[in-house]
Amino acid sequence: MAFLLTINGETHELDVEGDMPLLWVVRDHLNLTGTKFGCGLAQCGACTMHIDGVAARTCVLTVADSVGKNITTIEGLQSPQAMAVQQAWVQLQVPQCGYCQSGQVMSATALLEKNGNPTDADIDAAMSGNICRCGTYPRIKAGIKMAAAQFTNAAGAV
């Protein structure tokens, strides 16, 4: 079956089975490999993309259900919040093995786009769906706060 998907602002026509999760469409058919496979069960968050601006687990979202949505992958991040998050990630040396970090960056960005000054509890709530076996959690938390500070310090830009 053919499906029309809008990914990172571009429209793609894909001829795949309708039950194929968006994750595998993007990785195997569009060759965008920044989004990772970790569990296939929406348990680990490695596959997180933004669907209409909301962080979503795409290993359980079928291509059929992705039609008509505005899909953003790590490759398509552009917002000031995303740039701030990525900058903080490098500066604080957040990633270790790095395999989960695309998903972490996507979740962190979605959080900051909604809440420019998250508390520890907000961060725990938004980020606990993303597993990191290297245990970079303290630096992820610090990274989100560092990124948030860019906006709160800039006279409430968010």
Partner 1 sequence: MNIRRLVNAESAAVDSGRRSFLKLSAGASAGLMLGVSFSGSSASAQNAVADTALEMNAFVSISPDNIVKVLIKHLEMGQGVYTGLATCVAEELDADWKQVVCEHAPANTQKYANLLMGQQGTGGSTAMANSFMQMRQAGAAAKAMLVAAAADQWQVPAKDIKVSDGMVSHGNRSATFGELALAAAQQPAPDASSLTLKNPNEFKLIGQDNTLRKDVGKHNGTAIYTQDVKLPGMLTAVVAHSPRFGGKVKSFDASAALARRGVQHVFEIDSGVAVLATDYWSATKGRELLTIEWDDSAAETRSSNDILLQYRGLVDTAGAVAESHGNADHTLSRSSDVTELVFEYPYLAHAQMEPMNCVAQVNGDTAEMWYGCQSATGDQAAIANLLGTDINNVRINTVFAGGGFGRRANPASDYVLEAVRIARHVQGTPVKLVWSREDDMQAGYYRPAYVHKIAASLDDAGNPSAIHIRIAGQSIMAGTSMAALMVSNGIDNTSVEGLTEFAYDVPERQVELHSPEIGVPVQWWRSVGHTHTAFSKEVFIDALARKAGADPVAYRLGLLTNNPRETAVLKLAAEKAEWGTKELPEGWGRGVAVHTSFGSTVAEIVDVSVQGNTFKVERVVAAIDCGIAVNPSIVRAQVESAIAYGLSAALADEVTLTDGNVDQTNFHTYRVLRMNAMPEVETHIVASNNAPSGVGEPGTPPIAPAVANALAAITGRTFTRLPLKLA
Residues in contact with partner 1 by CB under 8 A are 17, 19-21, 24, 27-29, 31, 33-41, 43-44, 46, 73-75, 77, 86, 89-90, 93-102, 105, 123-125, 127-141
Q: How far apart are the first and last CA of the chain?
A: 42
> In whole angstroms, how close is the CB of 117 to partner 1 at the nearest point?
18
Residue 129 is given by DSSP the state T
> In whole angstroms, how close is the CB of 67 to partner 1 at the nearest point?
17
User: Residue 146 or 155: which CB sits closer to partner 1?
Assistant: 146
Is 16 within 8 Å of 75 (Cβ atoms)?
Answer: no
User: Residue 36 or 155: which CB sits closer to partner 1?
Assistant: 36
